Amino acid sequence: MWKKERECWEEEKKRLETWKVRYLDSESKLKGRIADLEANYDELKEKYEGVKVELEDLKGCIIQEHINGFQKGVRQETFFCQDIDAAYSRFYVNKDVVDGQLVNEAESSPEEEVEKEAAGEDRDARDAVEGDDKKTA
């Protein structure tokens, strides 16, 4: 009876030892994986910071190019229109030319322009159809 119990305990001990070995092996693998992931995270974080700084630099470059282009246009306007005074009272900074008329920029929006163009195209199409009807009549 003792011999049989002892064999059961020996088997249990072996089984538990294999579990312990598996656990320690898994634990070491997981610790290695965690270390790899932390290293990857740090690397990605550094890359992200670099890209973020580069994006800010590019934004600044784009803005500067727009400013340079506008100044170039002003220089050309000054060159080609030497007889016109830029301080002339009919020049309005806050107005734009839309459909051949000078309008306030606040009163005109791109959405309104799209609606006006669509209405104009509908009117042109309707006129074309009516013109075809008149020709056949």
Give the span between the Cα atoms of 131 and 127, in whole angstroms.
6
For residue range 45-90, what is the model confidence (pLDDT) as tens digits? Answer: 999 999 999 999 999 999 999 999 988 988 888 788 877 776 666 6
Cβ atoms 92, 105 nearer than 8 A: no
Nearest to 102 by CA among 88, 91, 118: 91
Q: What angle do CA 103, 104, 110 make, to 5 degrees?
A: 85
- At residue 135, does pLDDT exceed 60? no
Token pair, residue 105, equals 């920029």
Token pair, residue 83, equals 């007889």
Whole-model pTM over 0.95: no
Q: Return the residue matching tokens 């009549």.
A: 137
Task: Determine phi and psi for 96, rounding to 5 degrees.
Answer: -140, 160
What percentage of the chain exceeds 90 in pLDDT? 28
- At residue 116, does pLDDT exceed 70? no
- At residue 41, does pLDDT exceed 90? yes
Give the CA distances from residue 15 to residues 19, 20, 86, in Å, rounded to whole numbers and listed in that order: 6, 9, 94
